Amino acid sequence: METQRLDDSVSVRYLKKDQEGAELVQYLRLESTDRDDEISLFDLWLVLVNRKVLLFTVAGVILLLGILQALTIPSKYQYHTAIEIGMTRNSEGPVYFEDPGTVLSKINKSYIPQVMAETMALNPGFNSLNKIKASLEKNSHVIFLEVKSVEKDEEIYIGMLKQIVALIEADHGRISAIWEKDLELSKSKVEHGIIRLQDQEKLFHAQNKRIDEKAQLLLQRINDVRQSLAESIKTRQSAAKKVNTEGKALALLMMDNDLRSSREQLAGLEEKHSLGIQNSREILANQIAENQRKQLEAKYELSRIEIERKNLLHTRALSRPIKHNDPVGPSKKLIVIGALFAGIFMAVFAVFIAEFLSKARDYANKQA
């Protein structure tokens, strides 16, 4: 054995060995006093070449297993449907039968376990069922149901999705029936209110006609009193010219009292005609205007109820549960490619493990 100094910190020791008549220089190790041991890439390549049989065997076996898996594993498909939560719309926006988040919790914690348990009971050959997933996007009222399974179980999973939809529709059917009944009662109440207001308006118009008739009667009485008063004045004037006895003077005094009474009566009738009738008409006009305003409000409320009834959407499946056309999960090509890379990695790892064990065994034999 000879040692050659390369520099102040590294020395190389090598052994001259005869092998089949040829001189081979085998490097044993690098000794370093200042840095860690270094591994030559050429040495690694020699290890891979010397154990190429093991390398290709391990890589080939893993690749073959990957190909077999890609050929034998059944393709999985996605079965899905979407459920729209029932709602109506009013002036404030959409009003749902039930909060979509609450419905999602019901599906995940109640309906899905219930349907899975019933399906397992009806199909004892199943050891387990794939989990049905329910999801709800933000600010949405549509819940998505999906499950992945092989094609041969299509009928079972389609049936499960239909069962979940039916449970939600039955639950919300009760709520929608209550809403429809409430809207129907509200509509009937508003319609009766409108009829009552219309009857009241007719009564106000009839009262207005009676006021006109009363005004005509008052005007006729005013004219009569005026004529009577005019005649009484003429009579008083004629009698005043012929007063020559005490009895006639007393008669004039009585006539003056009658004239004063007639004037007071005339003034009262004119006041009632000009003020009382006018006030009655104004009061009645205000009542008619208030009545018509209430009718407009009631008709607006009736229109709102009709719109709510027309916009009432029942909880329903947006589409029947269907199977997606394309398989889901890793494709066969991806499985083979993954097996190829895994085989190469495991083969290299196995080669270096075998080399390490071989060196360790040789070292142990030398020590012995």
* pLDDT above 50: residue 102: yes
Which residues make beta-bridge pairs with 88?
95
pLDDT over 60 (residue 13): no
264 or 84: which leads in pLDDT: 84
Percent of the chain with pLDDT over 90: 23
Half-sphere exposure at residue 56, Cβ-oriented, CA atoms within 13 angstroms: 4
Residue 226 tokens read as: 């005026």
| Ordered strands of the 22-32 beta sheet | 2-5, 10-19, 22-32
- Closest Cα to residue 351, out of 102, 114, 44? 44
Its sign, for the CA torsion 311, 315, 320, 323, is: positive
Half-sphere exposure for 317 (CA within 13 Å, toward CB): 16
Model confidence at 115, pLDDT cuts 50, 70, 90, reads very high
Among 104-113, 233-242, 348-357, the range with the most confident prediction by mean pLDDT is: 104-113
- The two three-digit tokens of residue 247, written as one number: 């009895």
Q: pLDDT tens across 305-349, in order?
A: 888 888 888 889 988 888 887 777 666 788 788 888 888 889 888
Task: Assign 122 a pLDDT band (cuts: 50, 70, 90).
Answer: confident
Mean pLDDT for 186-212 is 90
Mean pLDDT, rounded, for 63-77 = 80
Cα 111 to Cα 133: distance, rounded to the nearest angstrom: 12
Query: Does residue 357 surpass a pLDDT of 50?
Result: yes
User: What is the mean predicted confidence (pLDDT) over 229-239?
Assistant: 73
Record: fold of 185-310: Helix Hairpins (1.10.287)
Compute the average pLDDT of residues 13-41: 45
Band of pLDDT at residue 35, cut at 50, 70 and 90: very low
Neighbours of 73 (CB within 10 A): 13
Q: Higher confidence at residue 251 or residue 202?
A: 202
Contact at 8 Å (CB) between 95 and 88?
yes
Confidence of residue 160 (pLDDT cuts 50, 70, 90): very high
pLDDT of residue 24: 39
| CA dist 1 → 33, 40, 244 (Å) | 20, 21, 188
Q: Grade residue 242 by pLDDT with cuts at 50, 70 and 90.
A: low
Average pLDDT rounded to a whole number, residues 26-31: 40
| Tokens 């209110």, residue located | 193
Which residue carries 């004219």 as its tokens?
Answer: 223
What is the predicted pLDDT for the residue at 299?
92
- Lowest-pLDDT range, 118-122, 142-146, 160-164? 118-122
Helices 154-241, 246-271: inter-axial angle, 10-degree rounding: 160
Q: Tell me which of 148 and 336 has the higher pLDDT.
A: 148
3-state secondary structure of 138: coil
Q: What percent of the chain has pLDDT over 70?
A: 84
**Range name among 105-114, 125-134, 142-151, 196-205 with the lowest pLDDT average:** 125-134
Q: Which of 225, 234, 231 is nearest to 268 (CA)?
A: 225
pLDDT at 137 over 60: yes
Q: Span 135-148, mean pLDDT?
A: 90
Question: What local confidence, expressed as pLDDT, does residue 25 receive?
Answer: 39
CATH for 76-183+315-323, options being 3.40.50, 1.10.10, 3.30.70, 1.10.1740: 3.30.70
Residue 249 has a pLDDT of 65
- The verdict on pTM exceeding 0.85 is no
Measure the CA–CA gap between 142 and 136, rounded to whole angstroms: 6
* Domain span(s) for CATH 1.10.287 in the chain: 185-310
In the chain, which residues fall in CATH 3.30.70?
Answer: 76-183+315-323
What is the band of 241 on the pLDDT scale with cuts at 50, 70, 90? low
Task: Confirm if 147 and 133 have CB atoms less than 8 A apart.
Answer: yes
Q: Give the amino acid at 242.
A: K
Instruction: Give the pLDDT score at 39.
Output: 60
170-190 mean pLDDT: 90
What is the structure's pLDDT at 146? 93
User: Average pLDDT, whole number, for the chain?
Assistant: 80
